[in-house]
Amino acid sequence: MISPATIDAIFGKVQIEDVVQDYVQLKRRGVNLIGLCPFHHEKTPSFTVSPAKNIYKCFGCGRGGNAVQFLMEHDHLTYPEALRHLAAKYNIEIDETEEPDEVREERQLKDSLFLINAFANKFFQQNLWETTDGRRIGVDYFKERGFLEATIRKFELGFALKQGGFTEKALLEGYNAEYLKSLGLTTEKDRDFFWDRVMFPIHNLSGKVIGFGGRTMTTGLKGPKYINSPESEIYSKRKSLYAIHLAKQAIIQQDRCILVEGYTDVISLHQAGIENVVASSGTSLTTEQIALIKRFSPNVLLLYDGDFAGMKASLRGLNLLLEQDLNVQLVALPEGEDPDSYVRKNGSEKMMAYLKSKAKDFILFSIELMVEESKEDPIKKTQWLRDIVESLSKIPDALKRSVYISQCAQLTGVEEAILVAETNKKIRQELLNKKSSQRDQAAEKAAMEVADRQEFQQITHKQPTTTANPDEAQERDIARLLVTFGDRLFDEEKNVTVAQYILNNIKDVVKYIQNTAYLEIIDLWQNALDTNATMNTSSFLNHQNKTVQQLAVDLTTSPYTYSENWEARWDIMLQTQTMPEDNFIKDSQQSVLRFKLKKIHYLIEENKHRIGNLKPGEDPQKELIYLKVHQQLTQLRNELADKLKLIVLG
């Protein structure tokens, strides 16, 4: 486990803009930086990076946090993995402390597997460049494919010798034999799995080698031309895209991902300067791969070779893309060409021009294929139309679906009403298929919500009459002040902080707070005060509890900022009040009074309810007590209201 001192060192050195700009193109706006959110599709930037607070926040989808949270969300890293990534980026030495055995063992296993793959990758590259067979067979093959030496090195291509030698070398270096087998580098008979093959390392999003693909150099060999590493603790084919680590930045910048089938297609296009390209490595697209693409862009261009049968088969996987609400275009290359051969023959400019002129929306592409295959055969045409309707039914956006149906009707001559009816029939059938499982999930969720409410009511000893929180705004403002200004001095003479002032003044009504997240903020501050621990805004923004961290981001960010132009360009400054960030003393006073006033209103209504439930003459003593309580609460309410009025006006 990474020590607290190391974590503090990481948070102390990391700069959020350094991390985010590796994934998002940022532009300065005032004191902040803005860009298009990498977590959802948007045309107008709402993704804001605050260097001063060292956080990011998207005001479109609501995601936000610090640099660690960004890496966890964006690269699907665990908390320790994100910390290690930042430690490596900023050259911070990691100090380890005790951690649970199972956690340590899992981490150590993955670290060992990554190390073995890195060793294998280096071994295969040395074979390629430093052995006679490697240069004579491997380098010559790559150069015949038109790959430059810089490209070969960029993709870390290698060669597995016919006589092997990897397993023997790895064991001599002390690598675990069972790990070598689990990665598929060594067979059960302790022989090299890859031999006499050019090697294509497969990387994860952060650039670590997770597996290999190998193409045979043996002519007449029975068996597959390409073989891949098997599934392992660090490699899942359905979650991987070839060259995603090299393509992600270009995909973000160009807001489009080009999807091809093979390794060499990707490499040739990258070499030609078309770098927003990845490959599914010959497998059908999976939901995990689509989710990986969608993190960088919602726009996908599928690039096929000119084989009609292959294009028709590939269209069956189109529905997964549509279900994820991606915008899909397709391009078919001339017959007999694939992306690799076409770009080598024609160059990048002609390739880009071809993509621009030939890219078709999936509906138009499908209809053209339908016309090509069905000719005048009504049976084939009907089947094609059913396939197209199936695709239309997968589009979650109703407006987009309606536009596509209208386009399809115009191009096929089929009445739009019929297409609408058939599409809706498909959608209804899909909903019916999911209904039973959804009902079960809904019942389970409802039961959990009831249990949570009951538990919360037992803790707070309250029975709220409605599920809504009428005091949400006041409770949230207390939490905002504690997170944002809690460590600031409220009274310099008495050395009283904002947190001390707030907590001392709300302690008699704090038990009536309904939002447990705000209670967590209060508890953290109270504990810090009780133990003389240091607490500030960064403590919440970098908190390991994700709920606390997310709430802190929400409380400390706003889509609105005070424009620097008022002061810098027009020499206009606030005259009647201080800047918002310097107004925390008056802000704290008002917030505490509003909060207490709301809770007093609540207690008055609760006391009225008790009085109303008493039957005439039932218990005169209890009635007298309730009436006295009402009088005291009313007096307190009036005093608080007067104080608030004075502060607001003064």
Q: How far apart are CA 131 and CA 135, in angstroms?
A: 6
Is the C-alpha dihedral spanning 436, 441, 442, 446 positive or negative? positive
Is a pLDDT exceeding 70 seen at residue 23?
yes
Please tell me the predicted confidence (pLDDT) of residue 235.
Answer: 94
Amino acid 374 reads S
Q: Which of 86-95, 256-265, 452-461, 498-507 has the lowest mean pLDDT?
A: 452-461
What mean pLDDT comes out for the span 178-204? 95
In the block, residue with structure tokens 């998002």:
24
Q: Which of 93-107, 234-248, 349-363, 460-474 has the lowest mean pLDDT?
A: 460-474
Is a pLDDT exceeding 90 seen at residue 635?
no
What mean pLDDT comes out for the span 521-529? 88
Distances (CA, A) of 95 to 103, 111, 524, 544: 16, 16, 26, 18
> Does residue 343 sit in helix, strand or coil?
helix
Is the C-alpha dihedral spanning 278, 281, 285, 290 positive or negative? negative
Is a pLDDT exceeding 70 seen at residue 475?
yes
Is a pLDDT exceeding 50 seen at residue 292?
yes
b/e sequence 595-609, b meaning 16+ C-beta within 10 Å = bbbbbbebbbeebee
Question: Which of 113, 142, 119, 129 minimizes the C-alpha distance to 263?
Answer: 142
pTM (2 d.p.): 0.60
Please tell me the predicted confidence (pLDDT) of residue 573.
Answer: 47
Tokens of residue 583, six digits: 């107004």
Is a pLDDT exceeding 50 seen at residue 453?
no
Is a pLDDT exceeding 70 seen at residue 446?
no
CB half-sphere exposure, 325, CA atoms < 13 A: 9
- How would you write 279-293 as a 3-class SS string? ECCCCCCCHHHHHHH
Residues in contact with 3: Cβ distance below 8 Å, sequence separation at least 6, in sequence order: 94, 95, 96, 97
pLDDT band at residue 494 using 50, 70 and 90 as cut-offs: confident
Strands (E), 4-107: 27-29, 32-35, 47-50, 55-58, 64-65
CA 435 from centroid of its chain's CA atoms: 28
What mean pLDDT comes out for the span 461-480? 67
Q: What is the pLDDT of residues 151-164, one digit of tens each?
A: 999 999 999 999 98
Distances (CA, A) of 507 to 457, 471, 519, 542: 19, 16, 12, 27
In the block, residue with structure tokens 């290999």:
212
Please tell me the predicted confidence (pLDDT) of residue 614.
Answer: 76
Is a pLDDT exceeding 90 seen at residue 464?
no
Average pLDDT over the chain, rounded to an integer: 83
Instruction: Give the dihedral of Cα atoms 206, 210, 215, 217; nearest 10 deg.
Output: 110
> Does residue 62 sit in helix, strand or coil?
coil
Amino acid 193 reads F
In percent, the amount of the chain with pLDDT more than 70 equals 87
pLDDT band at residue 316 using 50, 70 and 90 as cut-offs: low
Q: How far apart are CA 277 and CA 244, in angstroms?
A: 8
CB half-sphere exposure, 171, CA atoms < 13 A: 12
Is a pLDDT exceeding 60 seen at residue 459?
no
Please tell me the predicted confidence (pLDDT) of residue 436.
Answer: 56
Q: Where are the domains of the chain?
A: 4-89, 100-235, 472-558+579-649
Is a pLDDT exceeding 70 seen at residue 648?
no
Q: Which fold has domain 4-89?
A: DNA Primase; Chain A (3.90.580)
In the block, residue with structure tokens 């390392």:
201
Superfamily grouping for domain 100-235: DNA primase, catalytic core, N-terminal domain (3.90.980.10)
Strands (E), 446-589: 489-491, 496-497
The DSSP call for residue 570 is: T
Q: How far apart are CA 178 and CA 607, in angstroms?
A: 71
CA angle centred on 208, ends 203 and 209, rounded to 5°: 55
The DSSP call for residue 56 is: E
Q: How far apart are CA 486 and CA 393, in angstroms?
A: 52
The answer to whether the CB of 103 falls within 8 A of the CB of 1 is yes
pLDDT band at residue 308 using 50, 70 and 90 as cut-offs: low
Q: How far apart are CA 489 and CA 370, in angstroms?
A: 73
Beta-bridged to residue 27, according to DSSP, are: 34
Please tell me the predicted confidence (pLDDT) of residue 137.
Answer: 95
What mean pLDDT comes out for the span 259-264? 91
Backbone angles phi, psi at 202, to 5 degrees: -110, 125
